[in-house]
Amino acid sequence: MPYADLGEYKFFYQEYGDKKNQTVLLLHAFTLDSRMWEEDAKVLSENYHVIAIDFKGHGKSDAPLSGYTRDDRVADLRSFIKVLHLEKVHLVGLSYGGTTAIGLTLESPELVRSLTLIGTSAAGFKIGSKMSKIDLIAREKGIEFAKERWIKTSVLWYRKDQQHIRELVELMMQEHSGAIWKDPIRGNYPQLNDIEKVVSIKTPTKIIVGDSDKMFLPLSEKLHELIPNSELAIIPNCGHLVNLESPAKFREELIGFLEK
């Protein structure tokens, strides 16, 4: 299995396609992993070199005690790109992955060929009480209780005809290390605000969001207003995990953007 040695820990990644092609780097959502991108990666690999990573503490990557802040994730991603000797990459990030992609684009734009944000969060965006409640459960009752509650609330959205999505999401969440909830400084991470900085982004940017993603739709619209010359696609009848819930429309929007 392919691992990138970043020094104190290793990142697992899945790789597809011809390395001679431009690289698309896929960044997963919180408590999920590279498996959420498998079908997309197969399609993209027809014309691109595709890499889907597992962030620290997720999937098969190492899960150290600490190192889960936005700054840590950006530093990890920068190291990953350099360790694999990648040229400028097309960054594609969903939610947690989108937050990291924004951070890298702001700090190291020379590494980023294009930026695609799907149902993205961003440093400085307040996501409400859901996450803080899970953090409290983790502290008071333990990681397994927290994971159980997180999974239960995360899959309520999916209908019977989306059982395959529910099963994949549950599997990734069940196998998540839970390490991020064990981090002794969680709840006291540095308070950053990338939202007020994105106006400086000159990288070609595409923003994709589901029309039923009530938490992140307003942020996507705001980022579209702030990022110069960005494109916004709102996917109908779709929630947070756009690539899983509306794969054909998602790939149409992403590939059309990349081909520009």
- Provide DSSP, 38-90: HHHHHHHTTTSEEEEEPPTTSTTS---SS--SHHHHHHHHHHHHHHTT--SEE
pLDDT value at residue 70: 96
pLDDT value at residue 257: 98
pLDDT value at residue 226: 98
Sign of the CA dihedral running 45, 49, 54, 55:
negative
Token pair 């020379």 in the structure block, residue: 110
Whole-angstrom Cα distance, residue 107 to residue 102?
9
Q: Which pLDDT band holds residue 18 (cuts at 50, 70, 90)? A: very high
Kindly report the number of other CB atoms within 10 A of residue 70's CB atom.
20
Among candidate residues 256, 253, 227, 223, the one with its CA nearest the CA of residue 238: 253
Using an 8 Å Cβ cutoff, are 89 and 112 in contact? yes
> pLDDT, tens digit, for every residue of 130-189?
788 898 898 899 999 999 999 999 998 899 999 999 999 999 999 999 999 999 999 889
Residue 182 lies in a domain: no
The predicted model gives 189-210 an average pLDDT of 97
Q: Is the pLDDT of residue 129 over 80?
A: no
Using an 8 Å Cβ cutoff, are 190 and 69 in contact? yes
Residue 147 lies in a domain: no
pLDDT value at residue 216: 97
Residue 168 lies in a domain: no
Residue 180 lies in a domain: no
Residue 176 lies in a domain: no
Total structural domains within the chain? 1
Q: Which pLDDT band holds residue 246 (cuts at 50, 70, 90)? A: very high
Residue 137 lies in a domain: no
* CATH assignment at residue 81: 3.40.50.1820
Torsion of CA 187, 151, 137, 213, to 10 degrees: 50
Q: Is the pLDDT of residue 60 over 90?
A: yes
Alpha helices in the chain (DSSP H): 38-44, 70-83, 96-107, 129-141, 143-154, 163-174, 179-182, 217-226, 242-245, 247-258
Residue 245 lies in a domain: yes
Amino acid making up residue 52: A
Q: Residue 213 contacts by C-beta under 8 Å, 6 or more apart in sequence?
A: 119, 220, 238, 239, 240, 242
* Residues of the domain holding 85: 3-126+191-258
Amino acid making up residue 188: N
- Higher local confidence (pLDDT), 129 or 253: 253
Q: Residue 132 contacts by C-beta under 8 Å, 6 or more apart in sequence?
A: none
Residue 158 lies in a domain: no
The predicted model gives 236-253 an average pLDDT of 98
